[in-house]
């Protein structure tokens, strides 16, 4: 028997799979369902100060090698979200509250409210490529450090910082988050992208540009995790294109202690969490690993 439980700092997970933010995460019922499908933790939709309707549709389309979304952080707003967290908490796995704001100063209060709602950790979305305001924070080490520090002083639960790949040097930004007290790094958010439908000569997304997720971005995510692992000591969570156990192992060997799954649900259904766990176990058994931890970062050796 192999052991796939893991820890991300103070957060203990029965298995290394988490639901990625923004997928099915606006309703507590859906989060609960994902938890019961076998995810080791669930991350909420990124919640902001006010309800937000998001971008015009189409806002999520399937491309040949991934998904393209321009949802634009549609969310019910923090005040309407208490009930959802309460339902999600019935799932008996950690609920991680994701928050975003257009202004640095709003992160602290949002995070504090999430903590009050009962989440076991926070994820700071500093990285959505198709929501105004956020792109600026995403590439700026000073702003990242400021946000992280403010949230750290506002809450007691672990604070994870989610980074964007649409930057020149992601490792530098991870260092900024670490120095400001961040308890972990989540990488990556979607890759800025777009698609045009030639027959109608128009961009496909209502908002023109959006974020690419799914299999196409896995090599980018693995590269980011690998780079960040060499730059910081805090734990990492890999995200981007995980759909099977080997994808997860790739991230883990690059340095991640857990992975998040978003688009993978499209490719394999909600069973993806269970399936990925079984596939990681099978891999470990075949290759003589006993604890997941033994694999973390070994591609660096």
Partner 1 sequence: MPTSRLHSVILDKVMEEASHTKSFSFREEFPVRPGQFIMVWIPGVEEVPMALSQLGPVKAITAKNVGSSTEALHKFKEGDRIGVRGPYGNSFDLSQEHYLVAAGGTGIASVIAASEALAEAGKKVVTVFGAKTKEDLILLERSRKYGEVFIATDDGSVGYHGVVSDLALKLMEDRRFDGVLACGPEKMLQTLEGICRQRDVEIQVSMERFMRCGIGLCGSCSLDHYLVCRDGPIFKGEQLVGLRDFGHYRRDRAGRRVPM
Ligand X SMILES: Cc1cc2nc3c(=O)[nH]c(=O)nc-3n(C[C@H](O)[C@H](O)[C@H](O)COP(=O)(O)O)c2cc1C
Nearest residue to 41 via CA among 269, 260, 276, 240: 260
Alpha helices in 139-206 (DSSP H): 141-154, 170-179
Q: Which is nearer to ligand X, 21 or 30 (CB)?
A: 21
The CB-of-53 to partner 1 minimum distance in angstroms stands at: 4
**Which residue from 125, 164, 175, 227 is in contact with ligand X, where contact means CB under 6 A?**
125
Q: Which stretch binds ligand X (CB under 6 A): 18-26, 108-116, 152-160, 175-183?
A: 18-26
CA distances from residue 83 to 24, 54, 57 in whole angstroms, order as listed: 15, 21, 27
102-128 burial: b if 16+ Cβ within 10 Å, else e? eebebbbbbbbbbbebebbbbbbbbbb
| Rounded-to-integer distance, Cα 187 and Cα 237, Å | 6
- Over the window 66 to 95, marking each residue x when it contacts ligand X by CB under 6 A and - when it does not, the resulting string is -x-x-x-x----------------------
222 near ligand X (CB under 6 A): no
**Which residue from 149, 262, 281, 295 is in contact with ligand X, where contact means CB under 6 A?**
262
Torsion angle of C-alpha atoms 131, 147, 23, 242, degrees rounded to 10: 110
Q: 233 is in the binding site of which of partner 1, a second copy, ligand X, none (Cβ under 5 to 8 A by kind)?
A: none
Q: Which is nearer to a second copy, 94 or 139 (CB)?
A: 139
Which residues on neighbouring strands pair with residue 258, listed in sequence order?
237
The residues that touch partner 1, with contacts defined as CB under 8 A, are: 22-27, 29-30, 32-33, 45, 51-54, 56-64, 67, 69, 71, 74-77, 80, 83, 197, 199-200, 202, 204, 206, 262-263, 265-266, 269
Nearest residue to 15 via CA among 268, 300, 252: 252
**CA angle, 49 then 107 then 220, to 5°:** 105
The residues that touch a second copy, with contacts defined as CB under 8 A, are: 63-66, 68, 139, 166-169, 191-196, 198-199, 201-203, 208-209, 212, 215-217, 219-220, 222-223, 226-227, 246, 249-250, 253-254, 283, 287, 295, 298-299, 301
| Strand 60-62 relative to strand 191-193, pairing | unpaired
Crossing angle of helices 170-179 and 141-154, rounded to 10°: 30
**Which residue from 48, 162, 174, 234 is in contact with ligand X, where contact means CB under 6 A?**
162
Contacts of 288 (CB under 8 A, 6+ apart): none
Please identify which of the residues 4, 13, 128, 242 carries the catalytic annotation: 128
Q: Which is nearer to ligand X, 2 or 266 (CB)?
A: 266
Structure tokens at 18: 């988490």
Which letter does DSSP use for residue 95 in this model?
Answer: E
Crossing angle of helices 141-154 and 107-117, rounded to 10°: 40
Q: Which is nearer to partner 1, 120 or 195 (CB)?
A: 195
Q: Which stretch binds ligand X (CB under 6 A): 82-90, 106-114, 246-254, 257-265?
A: 257-265
Query: Is 224 a known active-site residue?
Result: no
164 near ligand X (CB under 6 A): no
Q: Which is nearer to partner 1, 88 or 151 (CB)?
A: 88
Catalytic residues: 128
């Amino acid at each position: 028997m192999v052991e796939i439980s893991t820890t991300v700092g103070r957060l203990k997970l029965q298995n290394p799979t988490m639901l990625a933010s923004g997928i099915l995460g606006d309703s507590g019922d859906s989060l609960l369902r994902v938890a019961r499908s076998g995810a080791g933790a669930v991350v909420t939709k990124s919640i902001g100060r006010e309800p937000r309707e998001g971008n015009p549709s189409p806002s999520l389309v399937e491309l040949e090698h991934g998904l393209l979304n321009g949802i634009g952080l549609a969310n019910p707003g923090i005040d309407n979200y208490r009930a959802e967290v309460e339902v999600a908490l019935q799932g008996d796995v950690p609920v991680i509250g994701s928050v975003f704001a257009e202004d640095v100063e709003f992160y602290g209060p949002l995070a504090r409210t999430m903590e009050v709602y009962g989440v076991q950790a926070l994820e700071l979305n500093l990285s959505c490529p198709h929501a105004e305001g956020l792109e600026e924070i995403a590439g700026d080490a000073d702003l990242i450090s400021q946000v992280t520090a403010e949230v750290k002083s506002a809450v007691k639960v672990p604070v994870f910082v989610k980074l964007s790949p649409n930057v020149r040097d992601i490792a530098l930004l991870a260092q900024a988050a670490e120095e400001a007290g961040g308890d972990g790094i989540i990488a990556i958010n979607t890759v800025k992208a777009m698609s045009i439908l030639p027959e109608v000569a128009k961009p496909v997304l209502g908002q023109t540009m959006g974020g690419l997720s799914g299999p196409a971005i896995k090599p980018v995510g693995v590269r980011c995790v690998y780079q960040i692992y060499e730059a910081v000591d805090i734990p990492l969570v890999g995200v981007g294109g995980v759909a099977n156990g080997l994808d997860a192992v790739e991230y883990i060997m690059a340095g991640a202690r857990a992975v998040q799954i978003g688009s993978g649900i499209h490719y394999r259904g909600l069973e993806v969490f269970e399936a990925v766990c079984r596939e990681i176990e099978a891999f470990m058994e075949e290759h003589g690993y006993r604890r997941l931890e033994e694999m973390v970062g070994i591609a660096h050796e």
